[in-house]
Amino acid sequence: MNQYELALVVSAKIEDDARAAVVESAKELVTRFGGAITNVEDCGKKRLAYEIQKMREAYYYFIQFDAEATVPAEIEQRVRIMDNVLRFLCIRRDAE
């Protein structure tokens, strides 16, 4: 199993419960494909470096998980079409 981190940039224009639902659906994707979530970090609302879809602020979330090598591609494929996710990035973390 490898360690991965999924970074999500979620729209600031949606309600708190809708934003929580976006994060929950991303967590469900990880578990559906056999990953084990180790940590979820909510970094809160931050100013974006540049406008994305006419928004200057967004919420940042970091989901750390352990999974097989094929899982990140499956997750990225589904996160790409999720509503209210402005940007995402899934990286492999180095073993500590």
% the chain with pLDDT above 70 = 98
Answer for the pair 47, 57: CB distance below 8 angstroms, yes or no.
yes
**pTM, 2 dp:** 0.91
Q: Where are the domains of the chain?
A: 2-86
3-state helix, strand, coil in the chain (%, to 5): 25, 50, 20
Residues 6+ apart with CB under 8 A from 51: none
What digits encode the pLDDT tens for the residues 58-78?
A: 999 999 999 999 999 999 999
Domain 2-86 carries which CATH code?
3.30.70.60
